[in-house]
């Protein structure tokens, strides 16, 4: 994976971020979701490089080979604001004051926070398979509770760690052929690390607390994403079924929204890299022209 990329650990504030980067051109940072690492982008990153982008692929704080602080009572060490600040400092350390952002799943909330808190640094943002956390919580139905029970299970103290670590492979599953064998092996190493599992759960605990509160504050202050926003979702997943048109939801949070479904299951970077990359290149082209 990632042939020709530089792979290194970069200290940013209170954490050490494991990152791969390569290519030339406008910088785009790719932010993974749960329970992946940056290696989930191993099929997308080379395609973006071939279209003239410089690609930066970090492991989010606490995930993969990146470090995380010890848990705090309010779980703020795993907040999306803290993760977004990591990414901002990482990109500046690598020489990028302004960049493009792509986030999937939990990484979408980090990308969302970057666009809200640091619009001067974000040229455009693509959010994959997500709507704002508070929009989820305001639409709780029995169907959502059954399909997305893990949000609330992961938020419980201690028990999720014991359940998952009893058999991480059974809990997380995954097909090495579909994921790519090296990507599968990297993800497997991560989920067998109790430190990583704890940090991933802290991500969800922060989500229902400090992250949801940040979004409520954004809405009260009428803060919006002012940069161009692309919203993509997996046609063979349940986001649209449970919540309706994601573009309509995001139009309440952003000035300019476009997008649509990708013919894929949830992990679109692994399952539909060509379609995803083409959509990203088309979206980013006007931002990078000239």
pLDDT, tens digit, 9 for 90 and up, residues 7-54: 999 999 999 999 999 999 999 999 999 999 999 999 999 999 999 999
Question: Which residues face 254 on adjacent strands?
Answer: 225
Q: What is the pLDDT of residue 289?
A: 55
What is the secondary structure of 11-54 as a DSSP string?
EETTEEEEEEEEESSSEEEEE--TT--GGGGTTHHHHHHHTT-E
Residue 151 has pLDDT above 50, yes or no: yes
- Helix 181-191 to helix 194-206 angle (10° resolution) is 80
Question: Which residues face 259 on adjacent strands?
Answer: 231
Q: What is the pLDDT of residue 245?
A: 95
Catalytic: 105? yes
Beta-carbon contacts of residue 17 (< 8 Å; ≥ 6 apart):
9, 10, 11, 58, 59, 61, 66, 67, 86, 90
Residue 286 has pLDDT above 90, yes or no: no
CA dist 75 to 70, 108, 206, 207, 209, Å?
9, 19, 5, 9, 8
Question: Which region holds residue 95: left if phi is over 0, alpha if psi is between -120 and 50, else beta?
Answer: left
pLDDT, tens digit, 9 for 90 and up, residues 243-268: 999 999 999 999 999 999 999 999 99
Q: What is the pLDDT of residue 255?
A: 97
User: Of 105, 129, 203, 218, which is the active-site residue?
Assistant: 105
Where are the strands (E) in the chain, listed by range?
A: 6-12, 15-23, 27-31, 54-58, 99-104, 122-128, 229-234, 257-262
Q: Domains (ranges, CATH) in the chain?
A: 6-288 (3.40.50.1820)
**Residue 100, helix vs strand vs coil:** strand
- The percent of the chain in helix, strand and coil, each rounded to the nearest 5, is 50, 20, 30
Q: What is the pLDDT of residue 288?
A: 72
Distance CA 56, CA 94 (A): 9
pLDDT, tens digit, 9 for 90 and up, residues 191-219: 999 999 999 999 999 999 999 999 999 99
pLDDT, tens digit, 9 for 90 and up, residues 160-200: 999 999 999 999 999 999 999 999 999 999 999 999 999 99
Distance CA 186, CA 177 (A): 14
Average pLDDT, the chain: 96
Percent of the chain topping pLDDT 70: 99
Catalytic: 266? yes
**Residue 103, helix vs strand vs coil:** strand
Query: In terms of Cα–Cα distance, which of 86, 87, 36 is closest to 63?
Result: 36
Q: What is the pLDDT of residue 55?
A: 98
pLDDT, tens digit, 9 for 90 and up, residues 83-126: 999 999 999 999 999 999 999 999 999 999 999 999 999 999 99
């Amino acid at each position: 994976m990632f042939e020709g990329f530089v792979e290194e650990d970069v200290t940013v504030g209170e954490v050490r971020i494991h990152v791969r980067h390569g290519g030339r051109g406008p910088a785009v940072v790719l932010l993974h979701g749960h329970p992946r690492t940056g290696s989930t982008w191993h099929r997308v990153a080379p395609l973006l490089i071939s279209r003239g982008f410089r690609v930066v692929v970090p492991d989010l704080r606490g995930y993969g080979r990146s470090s995380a602080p010890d848990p705090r009572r309010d779980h703020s060490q795993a907040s999306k604001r803290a993760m977004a600040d990591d990414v901002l400092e990482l990109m500046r350390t690598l020489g990028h004051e302004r960049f493009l952002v792509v986030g999937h799943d939990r990484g979408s909330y980090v990308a969302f926070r970057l666009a809200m808190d640091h619009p001067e640094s974000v040229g455009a943002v693509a959010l994959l398979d997500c709507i704002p956390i508070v929009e989820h919580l305001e639409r709780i139905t029995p169907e959502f509770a059954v399909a997305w029970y893990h949000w609330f299970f992961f938020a419980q103290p201690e028990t999720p760690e014991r359940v998952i670590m009893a058999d991480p492979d059974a809990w997380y599953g995954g097909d090495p052929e579909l994921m790519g064998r090296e990507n599968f092996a990297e993800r497997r190493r991560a989920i067998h690390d109790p430190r990583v599992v704890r940090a991933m759960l802290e991500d969800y605990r922060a989500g229902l607390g400090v992250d949801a509160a940040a979004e409520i504050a954004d809405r009260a202050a009428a803060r919006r994403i002012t940069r161009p926003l692309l919203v993509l979702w997996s046609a063979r997943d349940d986001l649209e079924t449970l919540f309706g048109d994601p573009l309509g939801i995001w139009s309440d949070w952003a000035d300019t929204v476009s997008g649509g479904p990708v013919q894929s299951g949830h992990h679109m970077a692994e399952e539909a890299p060509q379609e995803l990359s083409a959509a990203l290149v088309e979206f980013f082209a006007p931002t990078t022209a000239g």
